[in-house]
Copies of this chain bind each other. A is one copy, B any other.
């Protein structure tokens, strides 16, 4: 038996655990799930003979070390900031490790020691980061192998609601951590390059500078820039690329409507509101509007945001019941972002029948033998149900597959890693196809952002 320790039994772990349980006989696995709630851990196991749930408080050094010691490989599904303690144990006790999170500075600093000990610390192997790295590097490596020179790389991803469950005016529900959605884009200007020109978008303009994509069978989507496109230059070896842009996918119209919250200041997470617990939704809205008791909150908001009476933006606000003067925020010391999240969760939480959808879209522009080419590649996946969502599958399956391939000696390069090497992405992408994670590729005319390709007049 090979022992796999999974730390964290949250909703990102469902498909990961199902996959490993399904493989446990064939691969000779015993799976231990450690969580601060033993109930959560046990629920995911459902009495499977090759698994057990244990109490694991990641801040309890003895408990954590003991669990790591008894394992052959460790999967940490904790929030990113907690990985580092687990990683240090893995280093001390000589265990390989897998996470779906971005490589932190602290994690990167362990690289020399991990390499020296021959240990594999595989990170960024969920969906985004993860499937994006693998599916992009597969095509970039192929272009390079032909002798092509990369000109453009754009990569977009979104966790959305499936069309069959899309029944609100925002064309959106929370399929993942709502707090991250509310805070998305904050913390600094978005930075990217287009045709060699650096471009910056401040947070308060981010939701008004969207681009559009069409996906066969699903129609039109919008893309808003991620903060940190430029760091992909070094990760993918694209230092000389002319266009590098990463973004988040939403249904068309979401960003324009979300911008209302940004403009009002409702997404601010830097201060707390006095007596937020007893504030009504209407009071909350009024915090961000001029004092004028002769005017309704509604008219003040319409005036502040210049919303015409026949503008769909207005229906979107009303759908959220945001002017309700009975419902209260009910959270002590809430920031505006926390209060807004509360209001949105009431309307945007998945119902039992709802299914989610993952959309990923890449564009690769390159030059080969003096000619410009472009490959577009995209993937869509609809979730099974509320447990095995498309998000849980696309985040969890690559982690699970990687863990087995490390155990089996098929992934071998030691150190703090991302899944950008062929030895990693080829077999994982191949197996993901069996689970419906399939990229469709097409050659398109290279457009870039060049004037000769644009309609003038």
Contact = CB atoms under 8 A, between A and B. Distances in A.
16 contacts: A188-B270, A189-B265, A189-B268, A189-B270, A191-B271, A197-B287, A197-B291, A198-B274, A199-B288, A200-B288, A201-B265, A204-B204, A205-B264, A205-B265, A292-B449, A293-B450
A195 interface: yes
Nearest to A457: B294
Interface of A: 188-189, 191, 194-195, 197-205, 209, 263-265, 268, 270-271, 273-274, 286-294, 336, 449-451, 454, 456
A287 B204 contact: no
Contacts of A209: 290
A271 B189 contact: yes
A268 to B, nearest CB: 6
A230 to B, nearest CB: 9
A198 B287 CA distance: 6
Contacts of A199: 287-291
Contacts of A286: 197
A363 to B, nearest CB: 15
A199 B274 CA distance: 11
B265 A202 contact: yes
A268 B202 contact: yes
Contacts of A273: 198
Contacts of A289: 199
Contact of A449 (B191, B291, B336, B456): B291
Contacts of A203: 204
A285 to B, nearest CB: 11
A201 B271 CA distance: 12
Contacts of A293: 195, 449-451
A11 to B, nearest CB: 32
Nearest to A291: B194
Nearest to A194: B291
The residue among A200, A292, A451 with the most chain B CB atoms within 10 A of its own CB is A200
Nearest to A275: B198
A200 B287 contact: yes
Given A198-B273, A199-B287, 19 more contacts: A188-B271, A189-B271, A197-B286, A197-B287, A199-B288, A199-B289, A199-B290, A200-B265, A200-B288, A201-B288, A202-B204, A202-B264, A202-B268, A202-B288, A203-B204, A204-B204, A291-B449, A293-B451, A294-B456
A301 to B, nearest CB: 13
A180 B93 CA distance: 53
Nearest to A263: B205
Given A189-B270, A204-B263, A294 B451 contact: yes
A200 B276 CA distance: 14
A243 B197 CA distance: 48
A245 B91 CA distance: 56
A143 to B, nearest CB: 23
A321 B160 CA distance: 45
Contacts of A456: 294
